[in-house]
């Protein structure tokens, strides 16, 4: 997971607006695309051509004003592969109008997938991963995204395969969990022939939202939770009126959902020293880190 | 003159997209507003509230995709003063549609001034400065902008004023060039009573354009010319097909217009070492410098 930007609505010299990129088995998935995302993507050295899916959490500028620049750059670079965008239905006409004007005669298609942020729904699925919406509570319709990796086949034990002289065409079945039957009828249990593959990983992105305990159910036990922490607890009332969360609340969600690691971000410009937010979160959930531009977390 | 960005269409890790800000007697004037301009404006420490006029040369994304982010940030910051935007008429509906959606209930007005890039026209004027369009030749309608400072009143020689006992209420007339007549009818020539004020300064911004000798007339003898130099001379044919200029051509314009200084910018990403462009320009017009982010030139 690569963080391209983790600031909040106002520009600062410290942060870019929101954007994350997930690299799942060499396919890239972008979540949110604030202004400057294409610059940050260039800096990240991630391959532009590997990115085919962009998910937008909500239509506030700091989460989507970088889209036109990114799509227009792809056009200039001669992209031909379709780009899929998953967002609130309102974005389609806003983006469409700009694409019509600024990118006449594009060589690639922008495929728009309207999503309903109020519903839990699987909006994308391929052989490696599924993406499910996480309804959030913000000033406008907003959702987070849960990326769930699919299980990969188990690893075979080469020496056991050789020992039993198992032919190549049976190996895929064994990788996928089947036992093996010898010619004399003896059953060799699958766990004697394989070692388990890496357990599938899960990542959730939850920004922007009021403290919203309903998400706990969806992010239970996941490997990594990115949760907004716009404010510190001393500004709780500000968080409530603007429909944002405090660092303490983000950590409470992480603790109660028993996630493995928490990254907090979307910091208000008022905190010159973001360690205040980090310490606050760690007091409730020790395995918390601060988001920062160009941070890369390998799960 | 502050350069916020001087890259060309594709994002690089070296340059931001086009944007300049002029500070004329503490009023700020922005020319072009590519993506990331608001981040660069924040870095520049220029006061957001002093900026009331934005001039857009043409509607390619690298010259205007930063507008929505900038206007939206002004709204979040509680701006109330009107913002005037001077651009090709097509921008009005594109921007209007986005403002309607992303900035509902704005506390300030965006006043749109459509300009005709094909005509030389004074599109702005106040007590200190006038702004005139410079028609350019590009793939879409494009114009540059000539900023002409107005003459400030001359400085009075305090000792001469005292010597002739000239009353305070006559001083403004003398500052503006009038002679003074003593009670006995003696005429004291203005140049005995004043020293000339700083000569008014002129700055022109010409980007993007094909080599276009007609601009020489308009930029004759000015203090500073910013001229695009997207390509080196070895890529002249590329410059011609994309309607851009080479560094050599920019310098030829500067030399033939007898300007005092040339700044070249809008560099193509293909030149890792922009000194190639600088040397090429300097071979024709020695007083050339390379544009760079956060460069500030005081005239």
Q: Is residue B39 located within the same domain as residue B52? A: yes
Q: Which of B173, B195, B217 is the last residue of a domain?
A: B195
Tens-digit pLDDT profile for residues B207-225 = 999 999 999 999 999 999 9
Residue B11 has pLDDT above 90, yes or no: no
ipTM score of complex: 0.89
Whole-angstrom Cα distance, residue B54 to residue B70? 11
Q: How many domains, chain A? A: 2
Q: Is residue A203 located within the same domain as residue A82? A: yes
- So what's the pLDDT on residue A12? 85
In a domain, B32, yes or no: yes
Question: Is the CB of A13 less than 8 angstroms away from the CB of B77?
Answer: no
Q: Is residue A15 located within the same domain as residue A122? A: yes
With residue B265 as reference, give the H or E element that holds it: strand B261-265
Q: Is residue B147 located within the same domain as residue B179? A: no
Residue B49 has pLDDT above 90, yes or no: yes
Q: Which of A168, A195, A222 is the last residue of a domain?
A: A195
What average pLDDT score do residues B42-50 get? 94
Residue A37 has pLDDT above 90, yes or no: yes
Q: For an interface test with A, which of B5, B39, B43, B106 has the most A Cβ atoms less than 10 Å from its Cβ? A: B39
In a domain, A247, yes or no: yes
Tens-digit pLDDT profile for residues B88-141 = 999 999 999 999 999 998 999 999 999 999 999 999 999 999 999 999 999 999
Question: Is the CB of A39 less than 8 angstroms away from the CB of B36?
Answer: yes
Q: Is residue B78 located within the same domain as residue B122? A: yes
Whole-angstrom Cα distance, residue A225 to residue A253? 9
Query: DSSP code of B196?
Result: P
Tens-digit pLDDT profile for residues A49-60 = 999 999 999 999
In a domain, B274, yes or no: yes
Residue A75 has pLDDT above 90, yes or no: yes
CATH of the domain at B238: 3.60.15.10
Domain span holding position A47: 2-152+198-290
- B-chain residues within 8 Å CB-CB of A100? none
* A287 to chain B, closest Cα gap in Å: 32
DSSP codes, chain A: -EEEE-B-SS--SS-PPSEEEEEETTEEEEE---TTHHHHHHHHT--GGGEEEEE-----HHHHTTHHHHHHHHHHTT--S-EEEEE-THHHHHHHHHHHHHSTT-SS-EEEEE--TTS--EEEE-SSEEEEEEE--SSS--EEEEEEEPPPPPEE-HHHHHHHT--GGGHHHHHTT--EE-TTS-EE-HHHHEEPPPPPPEEEEE-S----TTHHHHHTT-SEEEEE--B-GGGHHHHHHHT--BHHHHHHHHHHHT-SEEEEE-B-TT-S-THHHHHHHHTT-SSEEE--TT-B---
In a domain, B248, yes or no: yes
* B13 to chain A, closest Cα gap in Å: 6
In a domain, A187, yes or no: yes
Q: Is residue A69 located within the same domain as residue A107? A: yes
In a domain, B286, yes or no: yes
Average pLDDT, chain B: 96
Q: Is residue A188 located within the same domain as residue A95? A: no
Question: Is the CB of B97 less than 8 angstroms away from the CB of A102?
Answer: no
Residue A10 has pLDDT above 90, yes or no: no
- So what's the pLDDT on residue B227? 98
β-partners of residue B263 are B226, B289
In a domain, A99, yes or no: yes
> Residue A71's closest chain B neighbor by CA?
B61
**Interface contacts (A, B; CB < 8 Å):** 77
Q: Is residue A244 located within the same domain as residue A263? A: yes
Residue B9 has pLDDT above 90, yes or no: no
* A36 to chain B, closest Cα gap in Å: 5
Tens-digit pLDDT profile for residues B148-189 = 999 988 999 999 999 999 999 999 999 989 999 999 999 999
Residue A296 has pLDDT above 90, yes or no: yes
> How many of the other CB atoms lie within 10 Å of CB of B139?
13
- So what's the pLDDT on residue B198? 87
Say if A73 is an interface residue toward chain B (CB within 8 Å).
Answer: yes
Q: Is residue B125 located within the same domain as residue B184? A: no
Q: Is residue B247 located within the same domain as residue B173? A: no
Tens-digit pLDDT profile for residues A113-156 = 999 999 999 999 999 999 999 999 999 999 999 999 999 889 99
The closest of A189, A185, A193 to A161, measured between CA atoms, is A193
Active site residue B223: no
Residue A220 has pLDDT above 90, yes or no: yes
Q: Residue A198 — pLDDT band, cuts 50, 70, 90?
A: confident
Q: Is residue B164 located within the same domain as residue B227? A: no
pLDDT above 70: percentage of residues in chain A: 100
Q: Which of A195, A218, A249 is the last residue of a domain?
A: A195
pTM of the complete model: 0.91
Q: Is residue A109 located within the same domain as residue A208? A: yes
What average pLDDT score do residues B64-91 get? 97
């Amino acid at each position: 997971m690569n963080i391209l930007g983790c600031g909040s609505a106002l520009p600062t010299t410290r942060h870019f607006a929101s954007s994350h990129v997930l690299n799942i088995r060499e396919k890239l998935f972008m979540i949110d695309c604030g202004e400057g995302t294409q610059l940050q993507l260039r800096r990240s050295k991630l391959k532009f051509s590997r990115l085919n899916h962009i998910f937008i959490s909500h239509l506030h500028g700091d989460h989507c004003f970088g889209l036109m620049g990114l799509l227009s750059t792809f056009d200039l670079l001669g992209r031909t592969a379709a780009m899929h965008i998953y967002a609130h239905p309102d974005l389609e006409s806003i983006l469409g109008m700009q694409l019509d004007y600024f990118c006449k005669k594009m060589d690639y298609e922008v495929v728009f997938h309207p999503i309903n942020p109020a519903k839990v729904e699987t909006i994308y699925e391929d052989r490696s991963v599924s993406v499910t919406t996480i309804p959030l509570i913000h000033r406008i319709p907003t959702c987070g995204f849960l990326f769930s990796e699919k299980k990969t086949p188990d690893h075979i034990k080469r020496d056991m395969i050789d020992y039993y002289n198992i032919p190549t065409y049976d190996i895929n079945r064994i990788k996928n969990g089947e036992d093996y039957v010898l010619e004399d009828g003896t059953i060799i249990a699958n766990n004697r022939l394989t070692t388990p593959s890496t357990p599938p990983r899960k990542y959730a992105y939850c920004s922007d939202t009021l403290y919203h305990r309903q998400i706990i159910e969806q992010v239970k036990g996941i490997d990594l939770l990115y949760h907004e922490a716009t404010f510190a607890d001393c500004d709780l009332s500000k968080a409530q009126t603007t429909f944002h969360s405090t660092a303490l609340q983000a950590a409470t969600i992480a603790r109660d959902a028993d996630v493995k690691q928490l990254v907090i971000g979307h910091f208000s410009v008022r905190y010159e020293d973001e360690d205040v937010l980090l310490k606050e979160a760690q007091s409730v959930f020790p395995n918390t880190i601060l988001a920062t531009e160009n941070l890369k977390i390998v799960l």
